[in-house]
Amino acid sequence: MVGYTVRVPNSGNPGRLLNGLKWDERVDPLSWQKIPTLFQRASEHGISVSTIGEKRYQDTAFTTASLRGAKYLGANRQTEIVAQVKIALAEPASFAYVYVNGLDAAGHKDGVGSDKWLVALEAVGELILQIVNQLPKNTQFFITADHGMVNPEEKIILGRDNPLMNHVTLVGGEPRARHIYLEPGSETDATSLWREFLRDQVVIHTKQEAIDVGLFGEIVSDDCFARIGDLIAIPSENVLLIDPTRSAQESAMVGHHGGLTDAEVVIPLLTAQ
């Protein structure tokens, strides 16, 4: 998938961005994400696989790209989630994946540690207890997250009182992990400019450097290579890189993720039985 927003290859000049959550009807999710999912592989081995999440996500392209192979059981309220888990695990040799987004949403809106975030965290804890209390005997239960979050305070709006939009055709990624797409032939000049201006506030990788240090995994397919930005910019913990075309929306969020700080990427895995 490569990033939150990335350029669609061969989409013209300067091209257009695909937002992985909102998607683009011109992009086939089965072509964009061709690798069989873990759910598909589990199903092929005789496991009854279900994914449980909000009803609005059920038929989205992102769900097709990332979660296909599982039976989707829509659930909005905690009571619905618990009921769907019970249904999913009634089958022998079954696996259920449950996703809840309330904590993430509260963090984005009000920040990690805010009152709303703490209320959302408490709700997640209550849901976990409800699920554990109704699990079939000998069921293994794992609790984890897709990422952490930080509350950066310094906002750098690209191109506003700075030269960072020189040579730039598209701004992709997100404020904590930018994919920067450049005019052909400008990579050397743009890389020098970004590094000189931002110094130790932001780590700047060229596309090849980002691949070489393993940011996109051990194997980078041709499809992946075509989507990655010409520059990858990863800010330090207290810094955001704001897209000037989305300044109001991105600046309004308190909590952000996508960077490489421990708070964002070191995620616990808990288990109960």
Q: Which of 60, 56, 53 is nearest to 20 (CA)?
A: 60
Lookup result for tokens 């975030």? 117
N residues, the chain? 273
Q: Which two tokens stand for residue 122?
A: 């408490």
Report the 10 Å Cβ neighbour count for 115. 10
- Domain parsing of the chain, residue ranges: 5-19+152-253, 29-150+265-272
Yes or no: say if 173 and 3 are a contact pair by the CB < 8 Å rule: yes
Q: Which of 3.30.70.1350, 3.40.50.300, 3.40.720.10, 3.20.190.10 would CATH assign to domain 29-150+265-272?
A: 3.40.720.10
pLDDT at residue 89, rounded to an integer: 96
Q: Which of 1.10.580.10, 3.30.1360.180, 3.30.70.20, 3.30.360.10 would CATH assign to domain 5-19+152-253?
A: 3.30.1360.180
Q: Which of 193, 168, 198 is nearest to 180 (CA)?
A: 168
Give every residue of the chain whose pLDDT is below 50, as ranges: none
pLDDT at residue 272, rounded to an integer: 81
Q: Mean pLDDT, the chain, as a whole number?
A: 96
pLDDT at residue 157, rounded to an integer: 98
